[in-house]
Amino acid sequence: MKKSLKIISMFFVAGMVMASCEGPMGPAGADGAKGDKGDKGDPGTPGTTLACAECHNNDDELVAFSAQWSESQHATGGNAAYANRTGCVQCHTHQGFLEYVAEGSAADISVPVNPMQINCYTCHKIHQTYTAADLALTKPGQQTLDVKYNGADVIWNKGNSNQCVACHQERVVSPAPVYDGPDFAITSARIGPHHAPMANLVLGKHPFELPGTAHPTANPHSTASGCLTCHMSTPYGYQAGGHNMGVWYDSHGTETMLMTGCTTCHTNSTTLATLLTALRADVEGKLADLEAQLIAADIYNPATGLAKTGTYKANVTLAYLNYNTVKEDRSKGIHNPGYIKVLLDNSIAEMVEAGFPVPGK
Ligand code: HEC
Ligand code: HEC
Ligand code: HEC
Ligand code: HEC
Ligand code: HEC
Ligand code: HEC
């Protein structure tokens, strides 16, 4: 008897027993023959659930990206612990960022007990559907930056780098000095846009511009992929580019800048090196001049790298905020060469105007 037939007949017998309730059940029949093996299972179609192998496979991506990330500042910076507090968790911890994305605001974010550094799950929707769709970014789409420019919203819309600027942007300075306005009281030595003003500078929309030379509105380094052009370009091993996102690596004892993102435009590496040396010297020179002026004005404490609390002329405070911004940006001009030079030049001129010439010049 075929197995299926036997099952049907057993149901039939059971039905009769229940319907009539007559007499005892007969002895169990003999076991049927073994069924056939059945069709081979579906190995998992891309786009369906349990397609683990779309990511967990023998490609180099998961292994290489994980290795690059694990040597990055995102993994090793350690500030998820230090900045595990209200006002900081949304950018510094994995949990805080995802809560910020879910709630659409940083107003009411809890402080995690086990703060995690930024990782795969912070930027990608890993293990939400267990399909390749989980590689989607957690904060896609254009971003409205926190800080306005001339009273208007500033939009960043540069492909997958939209993910970066949710964190790498200026914080609001409030209250802020007004140009030619009343004297300004600095009550916190940490006044400033914080450590990551990159997005605002790439766009050339930083709030404390001073009059003087016109600020260039075009930036040759503001591309359609934004930050990724230079920071996620072809990597150097695990040390720079790709998912490390840093631009410096050690090559047999020499600190070397990753140029794989630059050479798509700067095809002559000798010319590029010359331009780079000149720009760095120029920006570092201007920063040093402005710093000396700010020390003379007694608004900046070089020992702590922070402002001095006290009351200052509004324009001197603005010049300090510009100094702080360019210093924290750390690109030495690269994020927006022309703009950053003008920002510094006009701040230096404003300090001269306020009675603080560059010492020795
Ligand atoms: C969208 C790509 C993707 C898919 C699909 C995916 N994973 Fe993962 N999985 C990851 C990533 C990324 C990590 C973290 C790797 C790392 O930290 O280096 C990970 C980590 C893991 C880990 C290590 C422990 C952990 O949770 O961090 C296990 C186990 C795992 N996955 C199992 C699975 C299983 C089982 C499936 C299918 C049901 C699956 N994954 C589907 C990307 C994926
Ligand atoms: C969730 C917030 C967040 C996102 C999203 C984010 N970053 Fe970061 N990034 C940080 C924080 C915080 C640090 C410093 C980590 C620390 O010190 O613990 C950092 C550090 C870095 C550094 C290293 C700086 C150094 O000191 O060497 C680079 C480069 C960087 N990020 C680039 C990027 C790029 C490019 C993206 C987008 C692909 C990105 N980041 C996305 C928050 C973020
Ligand atoms: C809008 C996002 C954002 C917020 C809010 C934020 N940070 Fe950061 N912070 C960053 C990013 C991005 C970096 C990495 C910049 C870099 O390495 O160039 C950073 C870097 C730092 C660093 C490392 C600086 C260094 O020079 O190595 C410290 C320390 C820090 N933040 C502390 C804090 C604290 C404390 C708070 C809260 C009072 C806070 N941050 C709030 C985005 C943020
Ligand atoms: C700071 C944010 C950030 C972190 C952390 C991060 N990624 Fe990514 N990842 C990105 C961005 C942005 C892209 C898009 C790059 C591009 O467009 O060139 C990307 C692309 C990818 C891709 C290719 C996606 C595709 O659709 O082909 C994979 C795979 C990937 N990441 C895996 C990982 C893994 C694994 C980790 C953890 C080890 C990780 N990522 C951590 C931001 C991040
Ligand atoms: C044109 C290429 C380019 C673009 C675009 C770019 N960067 Fe950079 N960035 C650099 C270079 C080069 C440096 C290092 C300069 C130096 O140390 O002299 C740097 C420095 C940094 C640093 C300081 C730490 C480090 O790695 O040295 C951070 C953080 C950073 N960039 C983030 C970003 C973010 C976020 C964006 C997008 C908003 C961005 N960058 C856009 C080239 C670029
Ligand atoms: C999207 C194309 C593009 C990319 C990518 C790019 N540059 Fe440029 N860069 C330009 C253009 C255009 C100029 C302006 C014309 C010139 O001076 O060659 C420029 C100017 C410069 C200057 C001179 C700026 C000045 O005013 O003194 C330096 C230095 C420089 N780039 C370095 C870099 C470095 C380093 C990288 C990679 C980290 C890079 N560039 C990536 C297009 C690019």
Q: pLDDT tens across 188-199, in order?
A: 999 999 999 999
Examine the domain organization and report whether 122 and 189 are in the same domain.
Answer: no
Tokens, residue 290: 């402005």
Which of the listed residues 52, 59, 61 should we mutate to test ligand 1's pocket, taking the one with most ligand atoms within 8 A of CB? 52
CB-ligand 1 contact for 54 (6 Å cutoff): yes
Examine the domain organization and report whether 283 and 204 are in the same domain.
Answer: yes
Examine the domain organization and report whether 89 and 201 are in the same domain.
Answer: no
CA–centroid distance, residue 264 to ligand 3 (Å): 31
State which ligand 1 atom lies nearest to the alpha carbon of 66.
18
pLDDT reading at 4 higher than 60 = no
Instruction: Find all residues with CB under 8 Å of 4, minimum gap 6, and list them.
Output: none
Give the CA distances from residue 47 to residues 35, 51, 251, in Å, rounded to whole numbers and listed in that order.
Answer: 32, 7, 42
Examine the domain organization and report whether 208 and 79 are in the same domain.
Answer: no
The residue segments making up the domain with residue 206 are 169-220+265-353
Examine the domain organization and report whether 180 and 278 are in the same domain.
Answer: yes
pLDDT of residue 27: 58
Examine the domain organization and report whether 131 and 176 are in the same domain.
Answer: no
Examine the domain organization and report whether 80 and 215 are in the same domain.
Answer: no
Residue 128 lies inside a defined structural domain of this protein: yes
Q: What is the mean pLDDT of residues 38-52?
A: 54
Of all protein residues, the one whose alpha carbon is nearest to atom 16 of ligand 2 is: 77
Examine the domain organization and report whether 93 and 216 are in the same domain.
Answer: no
Of all protein residues, the one whose alpha carbon is nearest to atom 29 of ligand 3 is: 79
pLDDT of residue 51: 86
Distance, in Å, from the CA atom of 327 to the CA atom of 330, rounded to the nearest integer, reads 6
Residue 141 lies inside a defined structural domain of this protein: no
Instruction: Find all residues with CB under 8 Å of 137, minimum gap 6, and list them.
Output: 123, 124, 125, 160, 162, 163
Give the CA distances from residue 148 to residues 178, 200, 234, in Å, rounded to whole numbers and listed in that order.
Answer: 14, 10, 34
Percentage of the residues of the chain whose pLDDT score is greater than 90: 84
Examine the domain organization and report whether 289 and 192 are in the same domain.
Answer: yes
Distance, in Å, from the CA atom of 145 to the CA atom of 142, rounded to the nearest integer, reads 9
Residue 106 lies inside a defined structural domain of this protein: yes
Residue 19 lies inside a defined structural domain of this protein: no
pLDDT reading at 186 higher than 90 = yes
Instruction: Look at residues 135, 159, 194 and tell me which one is the last residue of a structural domain.
Output: 135
Whose atoms come closest to the Cα of 172: which ligand?
3
CB-ligand 3 contact for 167 (6 Å cutoff): yes
pLDDT of residue 29: 56
Q: Tell me how many domains the chain contains.
A: 2
| Tokens 């200052």 -> residue | 312
Examine the domain organization and report whether 115 and 64 are in the same domain.
Answer: yes
Distance, in Å, from the CA atom of 318 to the CA atom of 315, rounded to the nearest integer, reads 5
pLDDT reading at 9 higher than 50 = no
Tokens, residue 214: 């016109």
Q: Tell me which of 231 and 42 has the higher pLDDT.
A: 231
CB-ligand 1 contact for 130 (6 Å cutoff): yes
Of all protein residues, the one whose alpha carbon is nearest to atom 6 of ligand 4 is: 120
Task: Quote the Cα angle for 97-140-240, to 5°.
Answer: 75
Instruction: Look at residues 135, 151, 181 and tell me which one is the last residue of a structural domain.
Output: 135
